[in-house]
């Protein structure tokens, strides 16, 4: 009947005419021969007519019902498609609307467009295209230089919003069928912000170039080998050499560094390139091209690669201080104060005069710590008295030790500091010494940072982590205990059931032998069914014991050749069923690391499954392969087993790995429903994952993602 319904309406009509004609012609003949009287003939004619009406009505019902079902199905599919389109249309972040050319109106608009343009939904429906599209940019090539996502199918337009703002946008138009109308789907990408960013970048570059060109400092960039990479015009004026004369040269390759300062400069260069803490600021002498000596202050900074580990180049600013020796200390003082304060990201900046033991605090000490008595220049003892008494002496000794030993590194201490409201703040105090030309410490510049809120947050986080770890430990312990009890129960039940099953099987066979020829066919059938049930029960118990042992077995890792192992499994199956012809293809030398005994159990079940479900295929084929893949940033061997057997409904794939879950009737394919559960258990013991896909009647494919060891 299904085949009949799939033919064309004309074929159905012609077939109906032929069959009805044959029925009318031959039924009358049959009735004439079968009727022995006019009354009987009349009754048979009535029955024939009634039968014809019933058959015709039944066929008409089938065709009309099928037609109605098809129409209803298409209507449901269309409604579902419309709902999905509406959901996607409304939730996309890009402004979009549906435009009807015939009516020159917008027939649908999404929320993003309403938010971007400021019109309400009803206002959009009243707008014409010209009220939004102001003008199209003809110089698209020039615009493409600043916007990298404008393609050949895009148009660049200026749009107007409700509040009068102008937007530069990219417009894409696609033809769609919307509610039976031939309409256009208009997609909008706002390029205004991108263009502004590019203009800002260009402006910033122009400003940077202007400052480099007009700064009184020489700007020089050295590459990772400390060869000149950039040489500003100001550098040419200060040193006399033009950029083309020094680009690509190391300072040692031309007469540039004063002989007596060469050791100091080499140490600074080595520190900068190796990531050391020296060389940031160096004062030394250099030669001019004419042979004269220049006194310079060098301010250097490392430019690192994207990893933050390797030095890409060194950017140096050189200040000519020849003739300004009397002002050197003053320049150094304020310049270094600025550099150090910026590097330390300070909250409260301070400067300690080592000679007078006076310390200066910025005004932020009042806002941060409510200490008006510390604002400005005060004696160091004022600061000391507010340090937590428990650490006061230790902090003072640490500062004195750092100063007296003339350390160039950073001094740092963490302690509690008493605020003006009598509460204590947790602070990080850092400072760095500045030295005179003879290497004596002059002053120390540093910062105090209030980290109270961070410390409180860290303490709360530590407490939460401790509580979370405790809960995880408790739940893990309960889960492990439950698993142990479950495994023990499974093993005990399976083990204890073996003896009764063997007894049932033995006594049943003894009974059959005892009765011998005195047993009738029905009794023999009953006894055979008992024996078959006992055999299935024994297989199920053995599978359960195997599953239980897999969980308890200790893993022993070694290299396992899957090619050889699979060959042995196939050979065993061929020996059991020599009459079967199965094409088995396996890649060569497939090696993984794992427990060989457990992997053999897994392959016994996987390949045995494929062997079983290809039983009714004359062209039975099983394939085994392996490839390397990456999942979740982890390397895996993907073991792939394919067959062209009976397959399964993919919607039920998750049931494959549950014990006793079967997707086929026992009369078609034997089994206990434990095999794939065993496969998944072996994989889990090796931190592997199993997945399957298939189609009913077209075979199955299993993938085991095995971690690379």
| pLDDT attached to residue 306 | 80
Task: Determine contact, residues 90/135, Cβ cutoff 8 Å.
Answer: no
Helix (H) or strand (E) holding 428: strand 424-435
Tokens at 374, concatenated: 């510390």
pLDDT per 10-residue tile (average), the chain, 709 residues: 51 73 71 69 73 76 76 77 79 88 87 90 84 68 40 76 86 84 87 74 72 78 90 90 92 88 89 82 90 89 84 88 63 55 61 90 85 89 93 92 82 92 91 84 88 83 84 73 57 58 71 73 72 61 60 77 92 87 92 87 86 87 93 90 84 62 52 71 86 85 90
Contacts of 124 (CB under 8 A, 6+ apart): 97, 106, 109, 113, 114, 117
| pLDDT attached to residue 544 | 56
Residue 298's nearest CA partner among 315, 314, 282 is: 282
pTM > 0.85: yes or no: no
Residue 224's nearest CA partner among 290, 310, 295, 339 is: 310
DSSP tag of 257 = B
Contacts of 221 (CB under 8 A, 6+ apart): 228, 229, 230, 313, 314, 315, 316
Tokens at 512, concatenated: 């059959």
Tokens at 332, concatenated: 């150094």
* In the block, residue with structure tokens 């497939």: 590
| pLDDT attached to residue 3 | 41
| pLDDT attached to residue 148 | 43
Strands 166-178 and 311-320: unpaired
| pLDDT attached to residue 533 | 61
Tokens at 97, concatenated: 């609307």
Tokens at 52, concatenated: 């014809």
Residue 427's nearest CA partner among 400, 391, 401 is: 391
∠ CA(303), CA(331), CA(375), 5° rounding?
Answer: 95
Q: Residue 445 pairs with which residues in a beta bridge?
A: 351, 432
Buried b (16+ CB within 10 A) or exposed e, 265-293: beebbebbbeeeebbbbbebbbbbeeeee
* In the block, residue with structure tokens 């060869």: 227
């Amino acid at each position: 009947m299904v085949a009949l319904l799939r033919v064309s309406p004309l074929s159905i009509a012609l077939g109906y005419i032929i069959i009805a004609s044959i029925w009318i012609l031959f039924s009358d003949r049959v009735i004439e021969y079968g009727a022995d009287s006019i009354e009987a003939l009349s009754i048979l004619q009535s029955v024939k007519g009634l039968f014809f009406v019933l058959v015709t009505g039944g066929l008409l019902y089938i065709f009309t019902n099928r037609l109605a079902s098809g129409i209803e199905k298409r209507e449901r599919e269309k409604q579902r498609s419309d709902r999905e389109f509406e959901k996607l249309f409304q939730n996309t972040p890009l402004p979009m609307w549906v435009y009807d050319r015939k009516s020159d109106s917008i027939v649908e608009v999404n929320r993003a467009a309403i938010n971007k343009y400021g019109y309400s939904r009803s206002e959009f429906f009243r707008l014409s295209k010209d009220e939004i599209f102001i003008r199209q940019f003809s110089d698209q090539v020039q615009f493409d230089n600043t916007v990298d996502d404008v393609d050949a199918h895009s148009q660049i337009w200026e749009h107007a919003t409700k509040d009068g703002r102008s937007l530069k946008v990219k417009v894409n138009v696609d033809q769609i069928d919307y509610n039976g109308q031939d309409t256009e789907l208009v997609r909008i990408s706002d390029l205004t912000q991108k263009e502004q960013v590019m203009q800002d970048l260009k402006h910033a570059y122009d400003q940077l170039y202007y400052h480099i060109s007009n700064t009184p400092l020489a700007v020089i960039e050295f590459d990772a080998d400390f060869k000149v990479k950039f040489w500003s015009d100001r550098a040419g004026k200060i040193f006399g050499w033009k950029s083309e004369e020094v680009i690509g040269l190391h300072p040692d390759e031309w007469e540039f560094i004063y002989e007596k300062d060469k050791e100091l400069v080499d140490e600074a260069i080595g520190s900068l390139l190796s990531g050391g803490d020296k060389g940031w600021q160096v004062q030394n002498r250099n030669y001019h091209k004419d042979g004269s000596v220049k006194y310079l202050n060098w301010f250097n900074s490392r430019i690192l690669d994207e990893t933050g580990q390797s030095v890409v180049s060194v950017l140096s600013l050189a200040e000519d201080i020849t003739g300004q020796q009397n002002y050197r200390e003053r320049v150094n003082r304020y310049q270094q104060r600025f550099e150090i304060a910026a590097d330390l990201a300070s909250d409260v900046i301070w400067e300690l005069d080592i000679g007078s033991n006076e310390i200066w605090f910025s005004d932020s000490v009042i806002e941060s710590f409510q200490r008006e008595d510390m604002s400005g220049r005060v004696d160091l003892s004022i600061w000391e008295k507010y340090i937590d008494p428990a650490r006061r002496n230790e902090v003072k000794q640490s500062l004195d030790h750092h100063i007296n030993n003339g350390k160039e590194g950073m001094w740092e201490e963490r302690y509690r500091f008493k605020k003006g409201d009598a509460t204590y703040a947790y602070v990080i105090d850092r400072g760095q010494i500045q030295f005179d030309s003879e290497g004596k410490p002059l002053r120390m510049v540093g910062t105090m940072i209030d980290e109270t809120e961070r410390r409180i947050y860290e303490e709360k986080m530590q407490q939460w982590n401790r509580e979370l770890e405790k809960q995880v430990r408790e739940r893990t312990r309960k889960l492990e205990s439950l698993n142990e009890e479950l495994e023990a129960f499974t093993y005990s039940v399976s083990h204890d059931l073996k003896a009764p099953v063997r007894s049932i099987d033995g006594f049943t066979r003894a009974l059959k032998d005892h009765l011998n020829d005195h047993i009738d066919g029905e009794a023999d059938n009953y006894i055979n069914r008992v024996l078959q049930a006992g055999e299935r029960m024994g297989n199920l118990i053995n599978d359960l014991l195997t599953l239980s042992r897999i969980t308890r077995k200790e893993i022993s890792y070694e290299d396992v050749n899957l090619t050889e192992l699979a060959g042995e499994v196939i050979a065993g199956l061929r020996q059991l069923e020599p009459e079967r012809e199965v094409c088995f293809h396996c890649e060569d030398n497939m090696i993984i690391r794992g427990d060989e005994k457990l992997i053999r159990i897994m392959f016994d079940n996987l390949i045995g499954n494929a062997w079983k479900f290809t039983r009714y295929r004359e062209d039975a084929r099983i394939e085994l392969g392996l490839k390397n893949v990456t999942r979740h940033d982890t390397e895996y061997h993907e073991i792939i087993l394919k067959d062209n057997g009976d397959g399964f409904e993919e919607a039920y794939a998750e049931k494959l790995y549950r014990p006793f879950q079967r997707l086929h009737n026992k009369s078609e394919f034997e089994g206990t429903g434990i095999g794939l559960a065993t496969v998944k258990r072996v994989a889990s013991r090796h931190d592997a994952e199993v997945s399957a896909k298939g189609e009913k009647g077209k075979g199955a494919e299993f993938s085991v993602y095995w971690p690379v060891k």
